[in-house]
Structure 1
Amino acid sequence: MLRTSTSLDSLAVSESIRDGETLVSAGGIIEVGFFSPGNSTRRYLGIWYTNVSPLTVVWVANKNTPLENKSGVLKLNEKGILELLNGTNSTIWSSNMSTKAVNNPIAHLLDSGNFVVKYGQENNDDNILWQSFDYPGDTLMPGMKLGWNLETGLETFLLSWRSVDDPAEGEYAIKIDLRGYPQIIKFKGPDIESRAGSWNGLSTVGNPDPGSTRSQNFVLNEKEVYFEFEPSRTTFSVLTLTPSGTRQIMFWTTQRSTPQVVLSNEDTDQCQSYAFCGANSICVYDAN
């Protein structure tokens, strides 16, 4: 028999949250629960920032398998797998199956926005069975990696929603392309639409960070290739790939809960369009 979670930020084995209930991270920054996007009445399990208006959803579990009513239940089973059940007790979404032996698994919602399933008492990466940061949606959050784990083959990338009312997989993706020197590329379907350019030590050449105090990193070694930006104590920021393919940066402070929105200039700057720039980052404008 499922028990409603007795902790604000975690789920133990056989505990659950139902539609209308949420988990809230220890610092009160992040919340996980059920929501309906835009004008839709369908229900999804999502993660959002607690005190930000309008609702800023940064991750969706069942984006391709919505609930048609408010019957959803999220639970953690004895194998350390998160399961989302519908009204007929059928599993419509679950986290990855772990190949490790587990003992007393628990799911924690962290202030970073990462929803983590781990086991044991040690607080280190070796104890993590699954984490939402390994499966981004349309939003890159501070501390989330965009790129490749070369040892496991895991690729993390952004994928747009189908529309503002539907978080199902859309047309656009932002990925790190490993051909040649790794670059951040925006795709429309299988086709390259634009690129952010190479890393200059502070940011990508084509897209310097327009709005914040955040620090950006680009890591390239024998184990990993990834881009990330670090969290700030006073400023929150996320990068979202919109359904129309625009890169949108939202940032807000601890004193101001309404995000400011900065749109990327990539669609207006010809030098970032793959049609104008070759594979070797050579850009030629037509003076006529």
Structure 2
Amino acid sequence: MANNFRTPTFFLSSLVLFSYSLIVFSNAANTIKQGQSIGDGETVISSGENFVLGFFSPENSTNRYVGIWYNKVSIQTVVWVANRENPISDTTGVLTIGEDGNLVVLNGSRNPIWSTNASISSNTTATLMDSGNLVLASSDNMTHPGIWESFEYPTDTFLPGMRVTDKHIFVSWKSANDPAKGNYSMGVDLQGSLQIVIWEGSKRIWRSGQWNGLTFAGVPNTRALYLYGFKVTNDEREGKMYLTYTMLNSSEILKFRINWNGSEEQRSWDEERKEWSLVMSQPSNKCEVYNKCGNFGSCSITDSPICICVEGFKPKFIEEWNRGNWSGGCVRKTQLQCQRNSSVEAAKEDGFLKFKRMKLPDFGDSVTVQDTDECEAECLKNCSCGAYAYVIGMGCMIWGRDLVDLQHFQQFGSSLFIRLADSELDPWKKGSKEQSLFVLSKSREFSSHFSGPDDLAWNLWNEGKAMEFMDTSISFSEFEVLRCIHVALLCVQDSAMERPTMSSVILMLESETASLPRPKQPTFTIVRNHTEMDLCTESPEIVSANDVTVTMVFGR
């Protein structure tokens, strides 16, 4: 009797353990094959265990959704949602690959509530990649590009490895606890030079300013974005321009997200504190609100009031303006010569006034020219052209409409040349411009006056005494001196991954917009690891904004 009792007990125990091992194995797999299903409570984990695919409920909600979230973050943080508009009210949902090869979410009645809805002619397999990308591909050729992938249909989070074009729109959640589509969206605008834009419905509420090859020019207080591997690529073969970023430190977890309240946040996971640390958020002040001061109005957060009309313009509605309602913007005091018919006036040509440290206006058009003079000439050809700018990393941009979303910065920013009538230019010496500085040449001249070893440069810079490092016989501004020393220290960082490329160095020195990261104290070892590349002398070729390649020889 005892043996008869123990035998089924042993059998049942073994069966339970075997079944449990199958569940664990199933949950550990990173794929769903045709005919397989994932029920509520089961998950798919990427091969490197970075991301999880499964059913979840937002905080304070009982609705069930299929989503992707971080596996190594203790706070469940969802980065993608499938059935965001059609939640399941209980735990009877299933994720599977249907007979037509599409991924589909079924409710308890086995009715489809979401599908990838792709055109498929073969058996398929869904794979959760370590990047967080869910890829549906042909089972016969898994190396071929996917038939469908979640990166092409993002929710609200921009992850490393995503290739974002003007067709990819990130849409906020409806609320903190409801992943349905909200009122705010974020994407890239390719007009002129690529920039990031946030919309409320169809209305712009914030923009990053144009990409200059190193950073977004309208957010000058950010660290140089090359540290995050940001890159804009113009793929002529595919006919696409896209923005992407990759993490130089693969262990760091970083995300960009459009929040349900309309703000864009960049957060980094702090494993020690077990929380998401805020790196940056936009809009960050009143002047970053889109077109705060109206057309031809300029916003400066350090001034009071924060809005003024740019030189040559006056408030359109003076009483409203004086009450602090600046939405009406500004209008010209004097018509341009090309807009007038008088033969006497025709002799007085229009000119340009230079405005320094500006966030360039929205809706600029790119023009292929060789230099600033040609850019100005291009603007003068058309009476509707009211301003131009020639910026390293962007090239020539002209504006043929009202200037909107202008902002003045205390440092950095770009130079904007606004077209004014002759009479408005008289007090400013018509047509005068500050002498341009070719910073690379200046930095070489400056470097020839350096005195002392590298460790002295670091010590003086770190103590706020970097100006003592300069030979008093040379005449450079304090900003130029500190800029050159700062860039030089970045170029001698111990890790090659922390040193800027040669093209980045050029942009750092020539651009008025780039905010540089703080260098770490170099160890100044004589011999570096032979596997590291000295990125500051990586390439003798510098590609200019008009795609002309200049070959330069650097001394070692």
TM bucket (normalised to shorter chain) is: 0.7 to 0.9
Q: State the alpha-carbon separation in 1 of the partners of residues 58 and 134 from structure 2.
A: 20
Residue 242 of structure 1 aligns with an amino acid whose one-letter code is N
Q: Which has the higher contact order (CA 8 A, sep 6+)?
A: 1
- Of 112, 118, 129, 2:137 maps to 118
Q: State the alpha-carbon separation in 2 of the partners of residues 45 and 18 from structure 1.
A: 10
1:217 aligns with 2:231: yes
Give the TM-score normalised by the residue count of structure 1: 0.86
- Mapping 1:201-280, distance limit 5 Å: 201-207=213-219, 208-209=222-223, 213-222=227-236, 223-231=239-247, 232-252=249-269, 258-268=275-285, 270-271=287-288, 273-276=290-293, 278-279=361-362, 280=364
- Mapping 1:16-95, distance limit 5 Å: 16-95=37-116
**Secondary structure, counterpart of 1:40 in structure 2:** coil
Partner residue, 2:170? 158
Q: State the alpha-carbon separation in 2 of the partners of residues 161 and 66 from structure 1.
A: 13
| Shift of residue 269, structure 1, vs aligned partner | 5.6
Q: Aligned in 2, Cα 1:133/1:256: closer, same or farther, shift over 3 Å?
A: farther
Q: Aligned in 2, Cα 1:236/1:33: closer, same or farther, shift over 3 Å?
A: same
- Of 174, 193, 196, 1:181 maps to 193
Q: State the alpha-carbon separation in 2 of the partners of residues 209 and 146 from structure 1.
A: 21
**Number of positions where the alignment pairs a residue of Structure 1 with one of Structure 2:** 276
Q: State the alpha-carbon separation in 1 of the partners of residues 291 and 98 from structure 2.
A: 47
Q: Aligned in 2, Cα 1:121/1:260: closer, same or farther, shift over 3 Å?
A: farther
Q: Aligned in 2, Cα 1:77/1:43: closer, same or farther, shift over 3 Å?
A: same
**Stretches of structure 2 lacking an aligned partner (at least 5 in a row):** 1-22, 299-360, 365-403, 410-556
**Stretches of structure 1 lacking an aligned partner (at least 5 in a row):** 149-154
**Secondary structure, counterpart of 2:151 in structure 1:** helix
Partner residue, 2:164? 146
Residue 72 of structure 1 aligns with an amino acid whose one-letter code is G
Q: Aligned in 2, Cα 1:209/1:67: closer, same or farther, shift over 3 Å?
A: farther
Deviations 1:214-248 (A, max 9, x none): 21111234411221211341211110111001111
Give yes or no for contact 1:51–1:257 (8 Å, CA) kept in 2. no
| Deviation larger for 82-91 or 32-41 | 32-41
Give yes or no for contact 1:137–1:159 (8 Å, CA) kept in 2. yes
**Secondary structure, counterpart of 2:62 in structure 1:** coil
| Deviation larger for 229-238 or 156-165 | 229-238
User: Rg: which structure is higher?
Assistant: 2
Give the structure with the higher percent helix: 2
**Secondary structure, counterpart of 2:49 in structure 1:** coil
Give the TM-score normalised by the residue count of structure 2: 0.46
Partner residue, 2:205? 193
Q: Percent same amino acid at aligned positions?
A: 34
Partner residue, 1:101? 121
Deviations 1:60-81 (A, max 9, x none): 0000001111111000124320
Q: State the alpha-carbon separation in 2 of the partners of residues 254 and 268 from structure 1.
A: 29
| Deviation larger for 199-208 or 269-278 | 269-278
| Shift of residue 94, structure 1, vs aligned partner | 0.5
| Deviation larger for 82-91 or 196-205 | 196-205
Give the structure with the higher percent strand: 1
Give yes or no for contact 1:118–1:128 (8 Å, CA) kept in 2. yes
**Secondary structure, counterpart of 1:133 in structure 2:** helix
| Pairwise CA RMSD | 2.7
Q: State the alpha-carbon separation in 1 of the partners of residues 145 and 407 from structure 2.
A: 50
Q: State the alpha-carbon separation in 1 of the partners of residues 223 and 116 from structure 2.
A: 33
**Secondary structure, counterpart of 1:146 in structure 2:** coil
| Deviation larger for 253-262 or 50-59 | 253-262
Partner residue, 1:151? none
Give yes or no for contact 2:36–2:96 (8 Å, CA) kept in 1. yes
Give yes or no for contact 1:206–1:272 (8 Å, CA) kept in 2. no
Partner residue, 1:12? 33
Give yes or no for contact 1:183–1:198 (8 Å, CA) kept in 2. yes
Q: State the alpha-carbon separation in 2 of the partners of residues 90 and 210 from structure 1.
A: 49
| Deviation larger for 263-272 or 186-195 | 263-272
| Deviation larger for 28-37 or 171-180 | 171-180
